[in-house]
Amino acid sequence: MLAKDKKVFFIGQSVNYSGNSIYNSLKGIDSKKKLELPVFEETQMGLSLGLALQGFIPISIYPRIDFLLSANNQLVNHLDKIRVMSKGEFSPKVIIRTSVASKRPLDAGPQHTQDHTEAMKKLLTTVKVHKLKRSSEIFNLYRKIISKKDKDSHLVIEDASYYNMIN
């Protein structure tokens, strides 16, 4: 659904190659719309902001919210504040997809399964934070935030177990 928009571009870890549960939701997307990155979260967020400033709508994928912590400088001090710092001149739209890792069938441990939703809500002032409680909410939320009316950046926190069932 998101890939149909010509401005949308997917960036992150495991967007082209299997490695996390979100990958399963990207299988049908043309690889020309995806940029596979190594593990360098802060640079990924900076690239996402740069793409958004050029008119793209990057879907920046962080397999686990724990990994997003390493991107907080770019997220909290740059993406979240750029509209205010530029007095509205710059209003980039980035959609950040992440998940809280499932503890079943295997528990990935405390450094991979934490839920930082409430902390992100406190840190971010202009980036909208969404925690999906049910898989049935996924499409409605993404339809809303990809609409032309919506000009904001969004952090969408999903439950990784939603995708473990997709073949």
Instruction: Return the CATH number at 26.
Output: 3.40.50.970
Of 56-65, 104-113, 134-143, the one with minimum mean pLDDT is: 104-113
The domain of 18 spans: 2-162
Degrees, nearest 5: CA angle 59-63-67: 105
Of residues 68 and 136, the one with the higher pLDDT is 68
pLDDT confidence bin for 157, thresholds 50/70/90:
very high
pLDDT score of 160: 75
Mean pLDDT of 99-111: 75
* Domains contained in the chain, number: 1
Judge whether 167 lies within some domain.
no
- Is residue 65 assigned to a domain? yes
| Structure confidence at residue 118 as a pLDDT band (50, 70, 90) | very high
Q: Is residue 59 part of a domain?
A: yes
Give the C-alpha distances (Å, rounded to integers) separating 157 from 28, 66, 90, 137: 21, 11, 25, 11
* Mean confidence (pLDDT) of the chain: 90
Give domain status of residue 140, yes or no: yes
Phi, psi (rounded to 5 degrees) for 154: -140, 140
Mean pLDDT of 58-73: 94
Whole-Å CA distances, 65 to 41, 61, 85, 86, 131: 11, 10, 26, 28, 11
pLDDT classification of 162: cutoffs 50, 70, 90: low
Tokens of 44: 């990924």
**pLDDT tens digits for range 13-59:** 989 988 777 888 898 899 999 999 999 999 999 999 999 999 999 99
pLDDT at 120 over 80: yes
Confidence (pTM): 0.91
Task: Compute the average pLDDT of residues 94-109.
Answer: 82
Alpha carbons 113 and 160: distance in angstroms, whole number: 10
